[in-house]
Amino acid sequence: MQRLITSILLLASITTWGQTFNVAKLDSFLSALANQDLAMGSLAISKNGKILYQRAIGYALIDAGKKIPADIHTKYRIGSTSKMFTAVMIFQLMEEGKLNLNQKLEQYFPDLPNANKITISNLLNHRSGLHDYTHDTNFPDWMDKPKTHEEMLEIIKEKGSDFEPGTQVDYSNSNYLLLSYIIEHICSMPYEQALKQRITKKIGLTDTYFGQPIDYSRNESTSYKYGDKTWKKEKETDLSIHSGAGSLVSTPTDLVKFMEALFTGKLIKKSSLEKMQTIVDGYGMGMFPFDHGTIKGFGHNGRIEEFYSALRYFPGDQLSFAYCTNGIDYPRIDIIEGILKICYNETFIIPFSRKTILDSNELNKLTGMYATDQRSIIVTVTKEGLKIFAETKGKRFELEEVAKNYFMHSSTGYFFDFHPEKNELLIKETDNTYYLKRDR
C-alpha cells in the first residue's frame, strides 16, 4: 500500500507536556495498520492550539483499479461527531436568551410523543425517551433516499417513546435531529447556513460543512468495508436524513481546531461548557467522558456507513486528537488506545512487530473454552504445534498473531485479545467488544 505521510515536525521526537512524543513510533503504528490493510484514514494531533502531527494512510477512492491516495486534506463524513457542533449552537442560542434547558419540545413539535414533558436538556443528554429513527425502521432500505423534515418527524412520531422523559438514558439520533430542526426554526435559516455563521466561519474551519453526495473533485472520500482480501465500497447515505445528528464532513485538522476553540472560550462561555461536560449516567450534553487512565478527557465518536470518527480533548494537557477513517478492520478502541499511549509515552508494542516465534508454553496458557455470561457466545481455543485455532458454532479457523496474546482472523474481521492471568478473552470487531471468561 502506498504510504503517504506529512509530518509537521521533522525531528524524530517532540518535547510536549513534559514528556516525549515519539513521532517515529506513531508513524510505525499507522504504517503497520496500513501495510496489513487494517485501516485507512487520517490523524491530527494538537496541543495549545498548535498542530503537532498529521498523517493520512490508505486511499480516498478505490474504483475499478483506480486508486486515489488519501492526504491530510482528504475529507471524511464524521457521523455522530456532528452532534458536538449541534450542541454548541444550542448553547449559543441559550446564551442569547433564545432558548433554555427547561423549554419543552411542544413549543416546536407539539405532535411528537411526550412533547409536553421532553425538555431541551432531555434532548441534549439523551433522556427524552424518543425512539431512534435508525432502529426498527428498516433504515438500511431507505438510508440512501432523501427525506424531508416532515417525513422524518412522522417516522419519529410513529415509533413513539421507549420510556418516560428523564427517567432513563438511551442514545437516540432523534434527539439531535430535533435539536438541529430547532436551530433552523430559531435562526430562520437552514442548518448548513447556521453552522457557517456560528462555527466554521467564526473560527476558520475551511474543510467542515454539511455533506452532499460524495464528490472526489472536493477531495472527499468514499467508505469501504474490508472482505475477501479487498476493500468493498459501501452504500452512500443521503445526508438530508441526519441533519445535525450526523451529516457533517470534516478533516481531523479542522476537528482538533474545533475542540481547541470550544475549550478555550471561542465558541461558548465557560458556564455553558461546564454544562456540556456535566456527566450523568455516562452522558454529557453533546459530549461523553473519554478518560485515559487518570487523565480526564472528553469527546465524541461517530459512525456513518463505514466512516468512523473519534474526537478527543484532554483539558489538563490542552491536548486534542482526531482520527477519521473511511475503511477500518482493526478495532477502533485499539487504534485510539495506541495513539494515546504513544502520545503519553506509555508502553506500547507496535502490532506485527514481535520478533520472537510463538512459544508452545505461551499458547498452552490461552487454550480452553470461553463463554459470555449468558453463554450467547462460546469459543473453544485449541492449538496444534505452534498454531492456534478458535472454534465457534461449528466453524474452526486459524488465528494470526498480532502481538503477544493478541490474534486476528482477518477474513472475518475478528480480533482475539487474551488475558490469561485473568482467564479472560476479549473478542473485538471494528466497534464492538465481547467479554468472555474461560471455564476452569
Structural domains counted in the chain: 2
Which pLDDT does position 440 carry in this prediction?
A: 65
Beta bridge partners of 42: 56, 324
**Residue type, position 316, single letter:** G
- Residue 32 scores a pLDDT above 60: yes
**Model pLDDT, residue 1:** 40
At 227 the pLDDT is 82
Task: Answer yes or no: is pLDDT of 12 > 70.
Answer: no
pLDDT tens for each residue of 68-113: 999 999 999 999 999 999 999 999 999 999 999 999 999 999 999 9
- Computed on alpha carbons and rounded to an integer, the radius of gyration of the chain in Å comes to 23
Check if the beta carbon of residue 165 is closer than 8 Å to that of residue 117. yes
* C-beta atoms surrounding 306 within 10 Å: 23
Question: What mean pLDDT do residues 135-150 have?
Answer: 97
Compute the C-alpha angle 184/186/192, nearest 5°. Answer: 25
d(CA 245, CA 83): 5
pLDDT at 5: 38
Are 131 and 233 part of one and the same domain? yes
Mean local confidence (pLDDT), 386-398: 94
Q: How far apart are CA 192 and CA 200, in angstroms?
A: 10
Lookup: cell for 31: 504504517
Do residues 283 and 392 both lie within one domain? no
Indicate if 252 and 216 belong to the same structural domain: yes
- Domain stops at, among 318, 334, 352: 352
Predicted confidence at residue 375, as pLDDT, reads: 87
Distance CA 292, CA 361 (A): 33
Closest by Cα among 363, 389, 123, 75 to 219: 75
286 and 392 housed in the same domain: no
pLDDT tier at 9, thresholds 50, 70, 90: very low
Q: What is the C-alpha separation between 121 and 228, in angstroms, rounded?
A: 46
Q: Which three cell numbers stand for residue 219?
A: 477531495
The amino acid at residue 181 is: Y
Question: Hey, what's the torsion of the CAs at 209, 143, 110, 277, to 10 degrees?
Answer: -50
Q: Last residue of a domain, which of 352, 384, 405?
A: 352
294 and 321 fall within a common domain: yes
3-state secondary structure at position 379: strand
CB contact at 8 A, 112 and 286? no
CB 39 within 8 A of CB 33: yes
Same domain assignment for residues 176 and 83: yes
Which range has the worst mean pLDDT, 58-67, 72-81, 142-151? 58-67
pLDDT at residue 65, as a whole number: 76
Average pLDDT over the chain reads 93
Instruction: Evaluate if residue 62 carries a pLDDT over 80.
Output: yes
Does residue 36 sit in the same domain as residue 56? Answer: yes
Domain holding 383, by residue range, is 360-438
d(CA 154, CA 228): 40
Q: Would you call 362 helix, strand, or coil by DSSP?
A: helix
Residue 356: the pLDDT is: 66
Which residues, in sequence order, are CB contacts of 213 under 8 Å at separation 6+? 236
Q: Cα(222)–Cα(218) distance, rounded to whole angstroms?
A: 12
Distance CA(414)–CA(416), nearest Å, equals 7
Whichever domain contains 422, its CATH number is: 2.40.128.50
By CB atoms closer than 10 A (0-12, 13-18, 19+), residue 129 is buried
Identify whether residues 224 and 270 lie together within a single domain.
yes
Same domain, 47 and 4: yes
> What is the 8-class DSSP label of residue 210?
E
Do residues 315 and 431 both lie within one domain?
A: no
Question: How much is the pTM?
Answer: 0.92
298-349 confidence digits (pLDDT tens) = 999 999 999 999 999 999 999 999 999 999 999 999 999 999 999 999 999 9
Residues 143 and 203 in one domain: yes
In single-letter form, the type of residue at position 77 comes to R
Digit-coded pLDDT (tens) for 261-311: 999 999 999 999 999 999 999 999 999 999 999 999 999 999 999 999 999
Q: CA-to-CA distance for 173 and 248, rounded, in angstroms?
A: 14
Give the contacts of 125 (CB within 8 A, at least 6 positions apart).
169, 280, 283, 284, 285
- Cα of first residue to Cα of last residue in the chain, in angstroms, is 43
Band the pLDDT of 410: cuts 50, 70, 90: confident
The confidence score (pLDDT) of residue 13 equals: 38
**CB–CB of 377/425 below 8 Å?**
no
Domain end marker among 352, 371, 397: 352
For cell 473533485, the residue is: 217
Q: Which residue type is seen at 391?
A: E
* SS3 label, residue 263: helix
Q: Calculate mean pLDDT across residues 360-365.
A: 90
pLDDT in tens, 171-226: 999 999 999 999 999 999 999 999 999 999 999 999 999 999 999 999 999 999 98
- 389 lies in the same domain as 424: yes
CATH number of residue 346's parent domain: 3.40.710.10
Query: What residues contact residue 383 under an 8 Å CB cut-off, 6+ apart?
Result: 360, 363, 364, 366, 367, 389
Q: What is the mean pLDDT of residues 155-182?
A: 98
